[in-house]
Amino acid sequence: MIELKMLSNEIEYIEIKNENATAKIALQGAHVFEYKRSREDDLLWLSEVSDFERGKAIRGGVPICWPSFGANNPELPQHGFARTSLFELISSSEIDTKTTEVELRLRHTQESLKVWNYKFDLLLKVTITDKLTMELKTINTDEKEFKLTQAFHSYFKVSDISNAVVKGLDKKLCFDTLTNRNFVQEGDIIFNQEFDKVYQKVDNEIILNDKEKTIHIENEGSSSIVVWNPWIDKCKRMSAMKNEAYKEFVCIESANAFEDFKVIKPKESHTLKAIIY
């Protein structure tokens, strides 16, 4: 089943159901805000007090950071403008009883050209089966090249942050944005304070172990991974998030960040892909 629905505040979303899983994708931001395999708990975390309003990013799920990750382009909003832009649904297909695909598109507008003076097509293909697969394709339709940083800012639901362990980043070089220094990760990642690090030259699967489940993250078109949890003080300052929400999730973001930026020449493209299960 593929059905276009609307929330009470006129935010449209796509609801998908097949034998393997269910999912919900908001047209604003092409934002996957729910994915659940049959007879299992939600894979993604969504804030109970998230804003589902026009022009405001949804807190949780998988926001798309594009065409800038973080605040590295002062002319753009934090994490770019895609996550608050209205995409259009251009195709949908029930491939079989267990597999569903949808594709959404964002194109440059007169408004986007004012803040980022490049012409583009941005396509997100989402495949819902026993895995959640997201493929974000950037096509440069301009006559000049542009630099791109981006991320799937994935929020993963956990039983408690004290139970979360991230594996697969041992011995990887990373940049700690809280201390502005580079270092090499030693061992697995656990959480007992605010955590915000960007790992580089990552070419392997990342695993999130929780008390009773294991989440796998595989990436293509990316060699940088961001791991983030705001912890107590920052969580209290953040919008659309309850004070204790930091206990409920960890973000593991498939990215092209910092030195993993991409330069897209005219008529060329780049695809960032994440497979989650």
- The per-residue pLDDT for 51 is 86
Amino acid at 112: S
**pLDDT tens-place string over residues 16-29:** 999 999 999 999 99
pLDDT above 90: residue 75:
no
Averaged pLDDT score across all residues of the chain: 96
Q: Give the pLDDT band (50/70/90) at residue 275.
A: very high
CB neighbourhood size of 69 (10 A) = 26
**pLDDT tens-place string over residues 239-262:** 999 999 999 999 999 999 999 999
Burial class (CB in 10 A: 0-12, 13-18, 19+), 234: middle
**Active-site residue, selected from the candidate residues 34, 79, 103, 153:** 153
Measured on CA atoms in the order 187, 189, 193, 198, is the torsion positive or negative?
Answer: positive
Measured on CA atoms in the order 12, 107, 153, 167, is the torsion positive or negative?
Answer: positive
Q: What's the order of all strands across the beta sheet hosting 165-167? A: 88-96, 99-107, 120-128, 132-140, 269-276, 214-220, 206-209, 165-167
**Active-site residue, selected from the candidate residues 111, 253, 259, 270:** 253
Q: Which CATH number do you get for residue 78? A: 2.70.98.10
CA distance linking residue 211 with residue 91, whole number of Å:
38
Task: Select from 72, 92, 89, 90 the least CA-distant residue to 80.
Answer: 72
Please check whether residue 167 is in contact with residue 206, taking contact to mean a CB–CB distance below 8 angstroms: yes
Mean pLDDT of 81-92: 97
- The per-residue pLDDT for 8 is 79
Task: Select from 90, 151, 150, 156 the least CA-distant residue to 126.
Answer: 90
31 a catalytic residue = no
Alpha carbon 253 to chain centroid distance? Answer: 6
- Torsion angle of C-alpha atoms 198, 256, 156, 102, degrees rounded to 10: 180
Q: What domain range includes position 6?
A: 2-276
Give percent of the chain with pLDDT exceeding 90.
Answer: 95
From residue 20, give the alpha-carbon distance in Å to each of 36, 42, 99, 209: 9, 13, 7, 22
Please check whether residue 98 is in contact with residue 20, taking contact to mean a CB–CB distance below 8 angstroms: yes
CB neighbourhood size of 244 (10 A) = 10
Total count of domains within the chain: 1
Q: What's this model's pTM, rounded to 2 decimal places?
A: 0.97
**pLDDT tens-place string over residues 138-166:** 999 999 999 999 999 999 999 999 999 99
Please check whether residue 17 is in contact with residue 1, taking contact to mean a CB–CB distance below 8 angstroms: yes
Task: Select from 258, 166, 161 the least CA-distant residue to 217.
Answer: 166
CA distance linking residue 143 with residue 4, whole number of Å:
36
153 a catalytic residue = yes
- Torsion angle of C-alpha atoms 50, 27, 37, 59, degrees rounded to 10: -20
From residue 72, give the alpha-carbon distance in Å to each of 66, 100, 138, 193: 11, 35, 19, 24
- The per-residue pLDDT for 235 is 97
